[in-house]
Structure 1
Amino acid sequence: MSEALDDCGAGKATVMKRRRTYLSRESMSTIAIRLQGGSSENYHFGSQSEGTTTPGLVSDIDVLSSDDYANFMICWRDWKAGIINLLMLNDDITPPQQYLLQVIRKETPEPITSLCLDICVRKDSGQLL
């Protein structure tokens, strides 16, 4: 099996080299963002970074960018002053892998009640999402 994987370009040495390459790419992109004054971080994942693709498959590169412009709260005690806070809500009609985000004030741990952003909507319960 090892010989077959080596022959198609998916042997252990190739997998480890790909993993090191993508870890280096993550670090370099984060450094470049920081040098430009940004605060986000990039993470590579999927078949390219895991080394589980073979030459010729034309596999895509999966990147997750994380920025700390907002605080995503699971519960009220996670609230942070001075930045955007979004409370993660899940109800009976929301799929288990998705959350509704309730907008919370920057100054106090209270929900925003006035429709101030075009991207927000009001739920039947009155919550601003």
Structure 2
Amino acid sequence: MEYATRCYIELDLIGMVFQSLYALVLIGITILCCAIVGLPLRLVPKIANWWKGRQVIPLCGIGVAALLLWLSILPGFSVKAWVEEYGEHFQAQIPNFKLFASGWVLLAFCMIHLYPKEVLETIRRK
């Protein structure tokens, strides 16, 4: 597994541009997938009202996601892998993919479907 951020022995412009574009594409795909999965929360009125009435769920989800992302980089959970850069092999410590991916998706889903009460009240007044 290769993450958006990589170790570079030498800085090169093409690699830095590609890394930024790769990160933007991953963010876009994540937002699109989370929005599609969460369509019932927006389109079905009964489910939407239930979700909006329980805003503690996405807030707890954001907390759990932050915990998963933090755990993925801790030395006890991270994974050592052999990396090759410009013909040189070295051992690098990378985040645990399962913890990282689940935290990333949970954070994106909860952030997209978080409706703060102040925003909801201003929408209802209009």
Q: Same fold (TM over 0.5)?
A: no
Rg comparison, structure with higher value: 1
Which is helix-richer, 1 or 2?
2
What TM-score comes out, normalization by structure 1 length? Answer: 0.32
What TM-score comes out, normalization by structure 2 length? Answer: 0.32
Which is strand-richer, 1 or 2?
1
**Structure of greater relative contact order (alpha carbons < 8 Å, 6+ residues apart):** 2
